[in-house]
Amino acid sequence: MSLLRTLRLPDPQPNEAASGEAAAPTLRQIRDAVRGKLEGASRADAVEQLAASDYPNKHRDLEVLLDDESAPSRLRYLAAVSLARADTRAAHQILLRATTVKDPRVLAGVMRALGQIGGKTALDAINNVGPNVSGSARAQAEFAAILIAHRLGLDGYAPRATAPADVLELPPESGARLRIRRALMTEVERSLVSLGGRPYGIELAEHPMYEFRCDRCSGMIMLNRDYTDGEALGVLRRRSAIFAIGALRNDTLGTYSVAALFLTAPSGAGDKIAISVHLTNGDRVFGGEAAISGDTARWTLHAVRRLGAFPIRAEGEFKSGHLAIGDAWSGTRIVHQARPALLNTDSVRDLRQHSKRG
């Protein structure tokens, strides 16, 4: 039932073990595990399996867990973000009601889910919650508002502009070239099936779709179908948009999951488009812009400064709904925050001996 994990069931009965085959969990067992009624089963795994299932009333089981104040925060958080996968009217209402929860970790999950599937009503609710919370809940509320506004084409919710000091410069012709090509149809279909439905409220285009690969990872760049026709550039000059999604490939399972969102917004009196690429938790990973000349936008992207980032530079053109990727280069990983040196075994032994003498 799940592409990701297998629910560990209680030890089988002797006659079941003799068969040599592990029994697949039933829907009833998964639902019981979500509610904590199946001893020995992982509730977190069960929530993921239930969310990935076709069970039409799964949102009700997730609602029970989300509302259960005695459940661990991490499980309630997982229930909230899993409701976004249901993407039904009932799931929306459950999440809207949950904007009053007090647990900041759970509230962060609610905000994150509303950012994925919410509309104008959700945006109003987020605007009421955001100023009154702090930490991860506030960060998720702010990013959720940005996502909804870009999905709806609303002004006033642009991400912070990328300052020149934030850009990780990669000199021309340096680093390793990123391998980007048109995706094979088999991978196009596999990625669409893996993501399912309308992730982040947009329909993904089958053509064009781009497959990328480097030493660190592989995946897809998947365009919003609304911006793959001849009028796309004109629309992007007028409104904010979720232009594309970046999906990472699990090479072991052959599945894909959303990893990044490409956001665009008009800039520079209509002759430029600001580009901001964020991880699904809101962290910005790339910044850039597209300069418009006639019916063509020439775009550039650079990695931005953050812990564990590495320089990337990419450029190309966008014309008549067609994204052309020219050069793309990747540099060496860098870390921007000093970390304490690890103690070796000799140092640990010396510290212990000094402590005993003291």
| pLDDT digits 0-9 by tens, 26-64 | 999 999 999 999 999 999 999 999 998 999 999 999 999
**pLDDT for position 214:** 80
**pLDDT for position 22:** 57
- What's the average model confidence in pLDDT over 305-309? 85
Given a cut of 50, whether residue 345 has pLDDT beyond it is no
**pLDDT for position 344:** 45
Given a cut of 50, whether residue 158 has pLDDT beyond it is yes
Tens digit of pLDDT for each residue in 266-282? 987 768 999 999 999 99
- What's the average model confidence in pLDDT over 84-102? 94
- Nearest CA-CA partner of 334 in 177, 170, 217, 220: 170
**pLDDT for position 178:** 86
**pLDDT for position 43:** 96
Chain centroid, CA 94 distance in Å: 21
Portion of the chain with pLDDT greater than 90, in percent: 67
- What's the average model confidence in pLDDT over 338-354? 44
Q: How far apart are CA 89 and CA 113, in angstroms?
A: 13
- What's the average model confidence in pLDDT over 111-125? 97
**pLDDT for position 6:** 52
Q: What is the 3-state secondary structure (H, E, C) of the chain?
A: CCCCCCCCCCCCCHHHHHCCCCCCCCHHHHHHHHCCCCCCCCHHHHHHHHHHCCCCCHHHHHHHHHHCCCCCHHHHHHHHHHHHHHCCHHHHHHHHHHHHCCCHHHHHHHHHHHHHHCCHHHHHHHHHHHHHCCHHHHHHHHHHHHHHHHHHCCCCCCCCCCCHHHECCCCCCCCEECEEEECCHHHHHHHHHHHCCCHHHCCEEEEEEEEEECCCCEEEEEEEHHHCCCCHHHHHHHCCEEEEEEEEEECCCCEEEEEEEEEEEEECCCCEEEEEEEECCCCEEEEEEEEEECCEEEEEEEEECCCCCCCEEEEEEEECCEEEEEEEEECCCCCCCCCCCCCCHHHHHHHHHHHHHC
Q: How far apart are CA 83 and CA 78, in angstroms?
A: 9
- What's the average model confidence in pLDDT over 93-112? 97
137-141, 214-218, 265-269, 350-354, range with greatest mean pLDDT? 137-141
Question: How much is the pTM?
Answer: 0.85
Given a cut of 60, whether residue 160 has pLDDT beyond it is yes
**pLDDT for position 21:** 52
Q: How far apart are CA 209 and CA 206, in angstroms?
A: 6
Given a cut of 80, whether residue 15 has pLDDT beyond it is no
**Dihedral angle sign, alpha carbons of residues 223, 224, 228, 230:** negative
- What's the average model confidence in pLDDT over 322-334? 83
**pLDDT for position 316:** 95
Q: Give the pLDDT band (50/70/90) at residue 352.
A: very low
Which one is predicted more confidently, 161 or 182?
Answer: 182
**pLDDT for position 94:** 98
**pLDDT for position 307:** 84
